[in-house]
Chains A and B, each alone.
Chain A
Amino acid sequence: MSIASFALRRLGRGVLTVWFAVTVTFLLLRLLPGDPALAVSSPTQTEATRALLLTQYGLDKPLAEQYLLYLGQLLRGNLGTSFTQSVPVLDVLAARIPWTILLTVGALVLTVVIGIPLGVLAASRRGGFLDKAVQVFGVTGQSLFVPSIGVLLLFVVGLKLRWAPIGGAYSDGTYGGQWYLSVLHHLVLPGLSLTLVQLGSYVLTLRATLVDALADDYVVLARANGLSERRILWKHALRNALLPATTLIGLQLGFLVGGAVLTETVFAYPGVGRGIYEAVTQLDFPVLQGAFLMLALTVVVANTLTDLVYGWLDPRVKAS
């Protein structure tokens, strides 16, 4: 199979997945208890006022009609207008998405950069002290919860040591290069928290697959051919061990965006995760639909990229 048809098949599957996610989100939101008019209006509003609001929101129409209108709107590239903010959903999301991308991509890169050496270190010293230490670290990392580690980091690093700011994405009144430095400074604690909670599973997966790879025949042959341990480990065994770890990274991207809700809340980080939480409490359907569409697209793109990279790393996958 050519790379083009491989990519085309993945793309077709991605479009179907996004349509399914859009439809399920649309229906699930309308199954939630309460209604948007009740969520946003004052308790002293009358039934007549609430009914008027539902009409304004277009929620008085039959469900099928609402769905068709929504799909038509989407096909024209229009995500609708926020019920509560009275501004286009695209504007609401555009103001927040960059921060979530920065946080999640930053955490992802940091996970890989820290995770690979740790996994290699543990696997190459199997059974030794360092291996055990990395395993303890990995298991502990898997059981960490963002709010707990977040508040702890804020208290120690932010309040006591004063090494990092308590919240936000940058300091007011900074411009140019100083602003970028401020952005990085504000990213340290939320990025570290998000990295810590996902690093454990990545390191343990990589270690386990690398230990298996090191016992394979081709490694024995490489040793017999006189290749250095360093070359065998980094050039041959690691390449095979990276396949499941790469899959895990693709899957974790979806988890990362979900984890960003908590991280952004604890660190007062202005990303889309927090926007979703706020939209849920206000039952702001258009914002939620737009945000979940964006999340579905992220996961589909990440998985497609993972598949493509997988094929790139292992030609057998492409061939099958």
Chain B
Amino acid sequence: MAGTPRPARRAVLVGGLGGFSAAAIAACAPSAPEEPAQQGGAAAAGTETLTIATTTDVVNFNPTVGNSRSDQWVTGLMYPRLLTIASDGSKEAELAAKWGYVDPTTGYYEIRDDFTWSDGKPLTAADVAWTLNAVKKDAPSGTFYGQLANFVQATAVSDTRVEFTMATPDSSLVDEIGFWGCVVPQHVFEPAGSIADFANDGSGGGWVSAGPYVLTKVQAGQSYTLDRVAKYPLVEGGVPVAAKVVYRVFPDVNTEILALRSGEADVIANALPPAQVQPLTATDGLAVEKATGLGYAHMVYNMDNADLAKAPVRQALAHAADYEAIRKVALSGQAVSTGSSPLMPVLAKYHDPSITEYPFDPGASRTLLQQAGYTADADGMFGLTFRLIYSLQDSVTSQWAQMVKDSSAKAGIAIQLQGSERNTYLAQTNDGDYDIYAGNFAIMDDPVLNFSLSYLPGGAINYTHVDDAALNDLIGQGAATTDLDEKVGIFREAAKMVHEQVYDNIMYTQDLFFAHSDEWSGFISRPSELLSIVNPVSVASATKSAG
């Protein structure tokens, strides 16, 4: 009978759909390994797998391109940094054993001689010099290139010593390149052409690592598996403890926490949302560790606005925010005051305790505005309305932006909130399309660099659009000297100026908390979310308790 949907036809349709799905999935099926994965040889080496949860995929396996946290965490296990950051914000040795200045425009690193690439080739100063020169030449989009503005050229003067020249004297460059840079294998990256275009996706025969682990398998969107290398000199015993490290992607933080609680993940790499710290601390089987924050949250007043160009107006705004309440409510108390200074307490050598936080005092704000010639109307408002932008992806800032709006109204200043998705927010920031900018920086570890970028005219993050000759002069002096005591004095002076003039309103440094299964111990916590308990030495030292 024509047109009748016979059972056989239906079966063909359903079978076709099913077959299509099965064929598509079969293409993803992994092959069983032909032989067991290679294990390290030291007695301390274990057989366990450490599973680390993250919320984002690895975007790019080339460490000079990848900017996301997951990129940095995964590639950080393969490509060593020259320097790392200690708990007081100062730089510590990692691949480099010594570092410093030959003269005001020449820096050097003396690197260890016991690092090798996982394919057996030694890691030498030639790799370091090639990496620096290639990044400078090809300008990859990662953070690394941003540090090289004043860098000219590097030369390997021996197998363990690299020297590089600078365009002008720069007392922060050796430290900043040492931390933000990494070293890649010249023999793998150079044949690929431009370092900016090289995907380093393992398609040319796998990855080559000089870190504690080497990437062996990628399931896009799901997991990244790294195997232990035979030798990693920075860990006790010379061999990483866990046999494998698997980074698993859980884009939703609630799912990520459920995975930790269920045992599917052993560690959460990203900092916990403030509201989750207390519940997870109280959860059996879990441990929560603290890492010092190295960044800050701040509000910046755009001096291109005629009213905000006046110091009393900025000072009035600074007195119109209740910082203590913000830290208590939006961050559950997990933040510390910086004294409204860009030299945060974590930068112990630089922090100046004599600079104190702007007190929340709407009355003082009103007085300042009246003295500046503003008059309040019958409702107590001064006729000042400012548009404050923030990113909707930043839940903490979204929360305190509302608090700032409410408290500013008490001082007679109207704030219009404009939360936007990230790309709109970035575009507005880049175009200076705001009166008040609210946001945060994850790592502000070096005063020379931070002050140069934040307060010099043309600085990439000079969101205030400030150009103060006296401040410019101080920053220039601070950048030129390599005498630490002199530098500290100069930047304290500069910080005082920033504080008094409210060129920046630093609100807090967030304390960071990281959760892991209590079956694992031995983590070595370092400041910032980038390093925290998932820095290479920490991951390589983590041990699973017996039983």
Listed in ascending order, the chain A residues whose CB lies under 8 Å from chain B are 32-35, 37-46, 49, 52-53, 56, 84-87, 92, 95-99, 101-102, 105-106, 108-109, 147, 151, 154-155, 158-159, 162, 165-170, 172, 175-176, 179-180, 183, 239, 264-271, 274-275, 277-278, 281-283, 309, 312-315
Are A172's CB and B199's CB within 8 A?
no
The interface residues of chain B lying within 8 Å CB-to-CB of A52 are 139
B187 part of interface (Cβ distance < 8 Å): no
Are A86's CB and B62's CB within 8 A?
yes
Are A313's CB and B199's CB within 8 A?
no
Contact of B29 among A39, A159, A179 (CB under 8 A): A179
| CA–CA, A269 and B249, complex, Å | 9
How many of B's residues come within 8 Å of A, CB to CB? 69
Are B24's CB and A270's CB within 8 A?
no
B142 to A, closest residue via Cβ? A42
Are A86's CB and B222's CB within 8 A?
no
Interface centre among A170, A239, A268, A309 (most CB of B within 10 A): A268
B426 part of interface (Cβ distance < 8 Å): yes
25 A–B contacts from the bound complex (CB under 8 Å):
A34-B423, A35-B427, A39-B423, A40-B67, A41-B141, A42-B146, A43-B461, A45-B460, A46-B146, A85-B60, A86-B199, A102-B21, A109-B18, A151-B254, A159-B261, A166-B264, A176-B32, A264-B251, A266-B252, A266-B255, A268-B249, A270-B220, A274-B251, A283-B423, A309-B13
- What's the nearest-Cβ distance from chain B to residue A54, in Å? 11
B28 part of interface (Cβ distance < 8 Å): yes
The interface residues of chain A lying within 8 Å CB-to-CB of B222 are 168-170, 268, 270
The interface residues of chain B lying within 8 Å CB-to-CB of A183 are 25
B221 part of interface (Cβ distance < 8 Å): yes
Are B255's CB and A267's CB within 8 A?
yes
B57 part of interface (Cβ distance < 8 Å): yes
Contact of B143 among A35, A42, A106 (CB under 8 A): A42
| CA–CA, A275 and B258, complex, Å | 22
Residues 245-260 of B, flagged 1 when their CB comes within 8 A of A and 0 if not, give 0101111101100110
Are A101's CB and B21's CB within 8 A?
yes
B9 to A, closest residue via Cβ? A312
Are A42's CB and B67's CB within 8 A?
yes
Knowing A95-B221, A98-B25, A175-B31, say if A45 contacts B145 (CB, 8 Å).
yes
Residues 223-266 of B, flagged 1 when their CB comes within 8 A of A and 0 if not, give 10100000000000000000000101111101100110110100
Listed in ascending order, the chain B residues whose CB lies under 8 Å from chain A are 2-3, 5, 9, 13-14, 17-18, 20-21, 24-25, 27-32, 56-57, 59-60, 62, 65, 67, 139, 141-143, 145-147, 149, 196-199, 201, 219-223, 225, 246, 248-252, 254-255, 258-259, 261-262, 264, 420, 422-424, 426-428, 430, 441, 453, 460-461
Are A166's CB and B29's CB within 8 A?
no
Are A38's CB and B139's CB within 8 A?
no
Are A166's CB and B259's CB within 8 A?
yes
Contact of A38 among B56, B57, B201, B430 (CB under 8 A): B430
The interface residues of chain B lying within 8 Å CB-to-CB of A167 are 248, 250, 255, 259, 264
The interface residues of chain A lying within 8 Å CB-to-CB of B422 are 39, 281
The interface residues of chain B lying within 8 Å CB-to-CB of A87 are 199, 201
The interface residues of chain A lying within 8 Å CB-to-CB of B17 are 105, 108-109
A-B interface, 3 closest residue pairs, ranked by CB to CB distance from nearest: A270-B221, A34-B423, A98-B24
The interface residues of chain B lying within 8 Å CB-to-CB of A315 are 2-3
Are A180's CB and B13's CB within 8 A?
no
| CA–CA, A106 and B21, complex, Å | 8
- What's the nearest-Cβ distance from chain A to residue B11, in Å? 13
B430 to A, closest residue via Cβ? A38
- What's the nearest-Cβ distance from chain A to residue B219, in Å? 6
The interface residues of chain B lying within 8 Å CB-to-CB of A38 are 423, 426-427, 430
| CA–CA, A271 and B62, complex, Å | 23
The interface residues of chain B lying within 8 Å CB-to-CB of A278 are 56-57, 59
Knowing A49-B146, A97-B24, say if A165 contacts B258 (CB, 8 Å).
no
Contacts between chains A and B (CB distance < 8 A), count = 190
Are A168's CB and B223's CB within 8 A?
yes
Are A312's CB and B460's CB within 8 A?
no
Interface centre among B13, B252, B430 (most CB of A within 10 A): B252
Are A175's CB and B220's CB within 8 A?
no
The interface residues of chain B lying within 8 Å CB-to-CB of A176 are 32
| CA–CA, A158 and B255, complex, Å | 10
Add 20 more A-B contacts to A96-B221, A268-B251 (CB < 8 A).
A34-B430, A38-B430, A44-B453, A53-B141, A85-B199, A86-B62, A86-B198, A101-B21, A101-B25, A102-B24, A147-B252, A154-B258, A265-B252, A274-B221, A275-B221, A277-B251, A278-B57, A278-B59, A313-B5, A314-B3
The interface residues of chain B lying within 8 Å CB-to-CB of A44 are 143, 146-147, 453, 460-461
Are B221's CB and A86's CB within 8 A?
no
The interface residues of chain B lying within 8 Å CB-to-CB of A56 are 196-197
Contact of B27 among A98, A159, A268, A314 (CB under 8 A): A98
The interface residues of chain B lying within 8 Å CB-to-CB of A312 are 3, 5, 9
The interface residues of chain A lying within 8 Å CB-to-CB of B31 are 175
- What's the nearest-Cβ distance from chain B to residue A56, in Å? 7
Knowing A34-B423, A45-B146, A106-B21, say if A84 contacts B255 (CB, 8 Å).
no
| CA–CA, A35 and B420, complex, Å | 15
Interface centre among A86, A154, A158, A267 (most CB of B within 10 A): A86
- What's the nearest-Cβ distance from chain A to residue B203, in Å? 8
Are A109's CB and B251's CB within 8 A?
no
Contact of A175 among B30, B143, B430, B461 (CB under 8 A): B30
The interface residues of chain B lying within 8 Å CB-to-CB of A239 are 5
- What's the nearest-Cβ distance from chain A to residue B136, in Å? 12
| CA–CA, A155 and B255, complex, Å | 9
Are B60's CB and A271's CB within 8 A?
no
Knowing A42-B67, A158-B258, say if A172 contacts B225 (CB, 8 Å).
yes
Are B423's CB and A151's CB within 8 A?
no
| CA–CA, A86 and B62, complex, Å | 9
| CA–CA, A109 and B24, complex, Å | 16
| CA–CA, A102 and B220, complex, Å | 16
The interface residues of chain B lying within 8 Å CB-to-CB of A158 are 258, 262
Are A84's CB and B59's CB within 8 A?
yes
| CA–CA, A105 and B29, complex, Å | 18
B265 to A, closest residue via Cβ? A166
Contact of A85 among B59, B196, B430 (CB under 8 A): B59
| CA–CA, A32 and B420, complex, Å | 13
| CA–CA, A108 and B20, complex, Å | 14
The interface residues of chain B lying within 8 Å CB-to-CB of A179 are 29-30
| CA–CA, A42 and B71, complex, Å | 13
Interface centre among A34, A92, A271, A283 (most CB of B within 10 A): A34
The interface residues of chain A lying within 8 Å CB-to-CB of B5 are 239, 312-313
Are B221's CB and A281's CB within 8 A?
no
The interface residues of chain B lying within 8 Å CB-to-CB of A283 are 423
- What's the nearest-Cβ distance from chain B to residue A228, in Å? 18
- What's the nearest-Cβ distance from chain B to residue A5, in Å? 17
Are A105's CB and B21's CB within 8 A?
yes
| CA–CA, A161 and B271, complex, Å | 28
| CA–CA, A151 and B142, complex, Å | 35
| CA–CA, A265 and B149, complex, Å | 39
Knowing A172-B225, A268-B249, say if A180 contacts B258 (CB, 8 Å).
no
| CA–CA, A22 and B453, complex, Å | 41
| CA–CA, A60 and B238, complex, Å | 50
Knowing A41-B67, A158-B262, A266-B252, say if A32 contacts B423 (CB, 8 Å).
yes
The interface residues of chain A lying within 8 Å CB-to-CB of B14 are 109
The interface residues of chain A lying within 8 Å CB-to-CB of B423 are 32-34, 38-39, 281, 283
The interface residues of chain B lying within 8 Å CB-to-CB of A264 are 221, 251
